[in-house]
Structure 1
Amino acid sequence: MTQARPLSLITGASAGIGSAFARALAAQGHDVVLTARRTDRLESLAAELRASHGIQATVLTSDLADPHAAEQLCATLDQRGLKVDWLINNAGYGVPGRFEASDWATHADFLRVLVTAPTELAWRLIGSMRERGYGRIVNVASLAGHVPGSAGHTLYAASKAYMIKFSQSLALENQTTGIHVCALCPGFTRSEFHDVTGTRPLVNKMPGFMWQSAEDVVQEGIKAVERGDAVYVTGRFNRTVKSVFKLMPDKMALRMSAKQSRRYRTQD
């Protein structure tokens, strides 16, 4: 079967950056496959995109904390004859508090959603992209992956640093294949993320210039992956932060990170 339009698979599509990616790519004429845990939200978004853009929107409810989720998603796509051109690895969340404050099952689920599942989806889909000589993979990382780790939310920055390095290597491996891979690194983004982690009262104290909308992040991300940028930090403020920390001695950078993280991380 030949697809008339590009097809984008978007994880974590029910809200925030994920739904913004779905809307932006549908507006560009992409068919979309939307996946997340909340079926009602996905169905509502799918109906909106079909009505607004006349594209095909497929809902595949999935919990990427399930060790078999990525394999099952790709098997369903194969059964339906759907070939993914754009993979948006966006699903993610934070686990607040100290490392030992949560049980291991909580951390294991987190690692599957933010590290294992996006890596496996890329592995399962990139072969078909190479056969067709075209593909785009956006791994939604974070500015947190470029700066020293913080106390609290212990695995978050570590998982995002992994996605940055993974994206760089995958981009290099595919320089001549027609596949572009980009680690997209936003900073503070207006979404439900901080409501879910319980840090909304803290982050609401942050000045407005530190924030971006999900729509702005996505527009920068689409341009970056099309250019072939292996890593892209969104927003001038975030790029300045990255540069400042890169120039600092490690001990000074860690002290500054410790001081600043108390403003927006739950550490107890």
Structure 2
Amino acid sequence: MDRRLCLITGASAGIGAEFARQYAALGWDLALSARREDRLKDLADELQDKHGITVICIAQDLARANSADKIITSLSEQGRHVDALVNNAGYGLPGTFFNTSWKSQAEFIRVLYTAPIELAHKVLPGMAERGYGRIINVASLAGYAPGSAGHTLYASVKSGMIKFSESLNAECETLGHTDIHCTALCPGFTYSEFHDVNGTRDSMNKMSKRMWMEAGPVVKAGIDAVNRGQPVVVPGMVNKTIASLTRILPEPLGRAMVGAQSRRYRRID
């Protein structure tokens, strides 16, 4: 195949589906992975008809320990390799650390942290051999902010993805892989199904519209940044301002501000 292939996890809706649309518009073939195969096929039909590309649908649940291997094996069996990886799959876990099971917490860590890193580890050797690769890890503005009640693992996982992306990007550069880049994309509030799934939509609707972004500019910022070799990107002026404030505010003040806001928008029982 002459066209490069982009593997996108969590591609059935929201930011993941927008990544698929933008990479398709750039002429890339796609491998789309998510749990909802029907949605993947609908998106695949749309993009193949519109752009004349090839789209491979791989229904997988990243909470399963062998999911990354199955995705890579499926592509290998079809004679394809990964030139770009977008680790987008994720969700917000309802409830608190106190009242959720360890199984739920372990699956959360697997989907949002372990599986993305495993996928990156598995595609990097091929990227190095071919001298080209792009990895975008969808992190979050939450990775900059102090931790808050009810989001016990979310901010820590997203902070970890930011540091992982920075380190991997630096490692590629240090080892002479000058056309392999890794970027952490750190959106703030973005219109998607995220808050519908975790049951906070009504609370989120009370927020100022200025806090929200459409998926399109968020995704474009990620693609542009990884092509530049920029290890971290925060899309949107409001989000950039918040990220900057987290670096300069005294830590006790930052924790107090985040705590006050989290009580407004998330119920803690």
Q: TM-score, normalised by structure 1?
A: 0.98
Q: Which residue of the other structure, out of 11, 14, 24, is the alignment partner of 2:12?
A: 14
Q: Distance in 2 between matches of 1:227 and 1:63?
A: 31
Asked if 1:126 corresponds to 2:127, the answer is no
Offset, 1:137: 0.1
Q: Distance in 1 between matches of 2:9 and 2:185?
A: 14
Q: Distance in 1 between matches of 2:32 and 2:267?
A: 31
State whether residues 7 and 30 of structure 1, in contact with CA within 8 Å, keep that contact through their aligned partners in structure 2: yes
Letter in 2 for 1:113: V
Q: Distance in 1 between matches of 2:265 and 2:165?
A: 27
SS of alignment partner, residue 33 of structure 1: strand
Letter in 2 for 1:33: A
Q: Distance in 2 between matches of 1:118 and 1:12?
A: 11
Offset, 1:207: 0.5
Q: Distance in 2 between matches of 1:111 and 1:4?
A: 36
Q: Which residue of the other structure, out of 81, 98, 108, is the alignment partner of 2:96?
A: 98
Q: Could you tell me which residue of structure 1 aligns to residue 222 of structure 2?
A: 221
Q: Which residue of the other structure, out of 52, 55, 67, is the alignment partner of 2:53?
A: 55
Segments of 5+ residues of structure 1 without an aligned counterpart are none
Q: Which residue of the other structure, out of 126, 133, 136, is the alignment partner of 1:135?
A: 133
Within 5 Å, give how 1:1-268 maps onto structure 2.
3-175=1-173, 176-177=176-177, 178-268=179-269
Offset, 1:266: 3.5
SS of alignment partner, residue 164 of structure 1: helix
State whether residues 96 and 267 of structure 1, in contact with CA within 8 Å, keep that contact through their aligned partners in structure 2: no
Offset, 1:97: 2.2
Letter in 2 for 1:97: G
What RMSD, in angstroms, separates the aligned Cα atoms of the two structures? 0.8
Offset, 1:200: 0.3
SS of alignment partner, residue 218 of structure 2: helix
- Indicate the percent of aligned positions where both proteins have the same amino acid: 54
Q: Distance in 1 between matches of 2:181 and 2:4?
A: 15
Q: Distance in 2 between matches of 1:210 and 1:60?
A: 34
Letter in 2 for 1:225: V
Task: Provide, for residues 231-255 of structure 1, a one-character-per-residue CA deviation record: whole Å limited to 9, x for no partner.
Answer: 1111100010011121011111111
Offset, 1:265: 2.8
Q: Distance in 1 between matches of 2:228 and 2:213?
A: 21
